[in-house]
């Protein structure tokens, strides 16, 4: 039989299994990012071998399970992400098929550009900030903010204002969103007007602009 319950190595092994289980549970919660260290830990756990009651030997996790748990950002695999991303192409195709009046003829361009990035790494066309009209850049910020704070998504809870703005601030630093428009979004408290209409009271926490990544350094008032 196995080691007696009071064996030190046995107890250490049980603690390690409990810790491994906690790591997998946290990694399966769908957080915003997964560190490289956490990914290495998951792969190490996945390679752990065990035997079931019939004596069949296998790894603790399948290759597919480990890959899904190691997604570095979000919860979607590459294939799932491609399917999701197609919604922008569908948006453009549908809107371009409509007979817009002259003053609205650029609506397909604006709506179809909300997943482009300032650094040209967005989709579907890989346009840079210089190639994007201001309405498309505004929509990009609005779309991300709404997605972060939305409380009706089955796969996640809506974030608080401070958490959502911190994520947007990092996206500004990463060249994802328009930096000047983001600064206006914070400085004029555009986010608060939206929050008061659509967010739960528990999501509307205190926001310290100086704590928002990428904002305080650029917008500190000069000393007089």
Cβ neighbours of 77 (radius 10 Å)? 13
> Are 211 and 128 within one domain?
yes
Q: Are 116 and 123 in contact (CB under 8 A)?
A: yes
Q: Could you tell me if 172 and 179 are in contact, meaning their C-beta atoms sit under 8 angstroms apart? A: yes
- Quickly tell me which residue has 């994520």 as its tokens: 167
> How do residues 103-155 score in pLDDT, each as one tens digit?
999 999 999 999 999 999 999 999 999 999 999 999 999 999 999 999 888 77
Greater confidence, 35 or 130?
Answer: 130
Same domain, 131 and 212: yes
Q: Which pTM was predicted?
A: 0.71
Cα–Cα distance between 218 and 187 in angstroms, integer? 11
Stretch 35-55: mean pLDDT, rounded? 90
Tell me how far CA of residue 99 lies from CA of 92, 96, 107, 136, 215, in angstroms.
13, 8, 11, 20, 41
Alpha carbons 44 and 60: distance in angstroms, whole number: 10
Residues 123, 59, single domain; the answer is: no
Say if residue 107 is exposed, middle or buried (CB neighbours under 10 Å; 0-12, 13-18, 19+): middle
DSSP 50: E
Q: What is the CATH number of the domain that holds 190?
A: 1.10.3210.10
Between 95 and 35, the higher pLDDT residue: 95
| 25 within domain boundaries | yes
Looking at the domain assignment, is residue 2 inside a domain? no
Whole-number pLDDT of residue 223: 42
Contact between 33 and 18 (Cβ < 8 Å): no
Residue 49's H or E segment, with its range, is strand 49-51
Q: Which of 17-21, 27-31, 205-209 has the lowest mean pLDDT?
A: 27-31
Of 125, 124, 111, 118, the closest CA to residue 182 belongs to 118
Q: Among residues of the chain, what percentage have pLDDT more than 90?
A: 71
**How many domains, in total, are found in the chain?**
2
Taking CA atoms, 7 is separated from 4, 10, 15, 21, in Å, by 6, 5, 13, 21
Domain region containing 28: 8-69
113 contacts 140 by C-beta, under 8 angstroms: yes
Higher per-residue pLDDT: 56 or 103: 103
């Amino acid at each position: 039989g196995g080691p007696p319950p009071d064996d030190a190595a046995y107890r250490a092994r049980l603690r390690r299994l409990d810790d491994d289980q906690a790591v997998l549970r946290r990694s399966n919660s769908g957080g915003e990012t997964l560190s490289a260290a956490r990914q290495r830990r998951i792969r190490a756990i996945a390679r752990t071998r065990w035997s079931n009651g019939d004596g069949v030997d296998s790894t603790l996790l399948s290759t597919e399970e480990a890959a899904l748990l190691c997604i570095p950002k979000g919860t979607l695999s590459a294939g799932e992400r491609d399917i999701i991303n197609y919604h922008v192409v569908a948006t453009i195709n549908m809107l371009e098929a409509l007979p817009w009046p002259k003053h609205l003829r650029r609506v397909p361009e604006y709506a179809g550009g909300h997943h482009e990035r300032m650094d040209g790494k967005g989709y579907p066309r890989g346009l840079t900030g210089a190639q994007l009209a201001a309405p498309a850049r505004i929509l990009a910020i609005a779309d991300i903010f709404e997605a972060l704070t939305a409380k009706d998504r089955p796969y996640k809870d809506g974030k608080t204002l401070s958490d959502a703005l911190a994520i947007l601030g990092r996206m500004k630093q990463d060249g994802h969103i328009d930096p000047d428009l983001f600064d206006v979004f914070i400085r004029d408290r555009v986010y608060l007007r939206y929050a008061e209409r659509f967010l739960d009271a528990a999501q509307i926490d205190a926001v310290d602009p100086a704590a928002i990544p990428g904002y305080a350094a650029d917008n500190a008032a000069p000393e007089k």
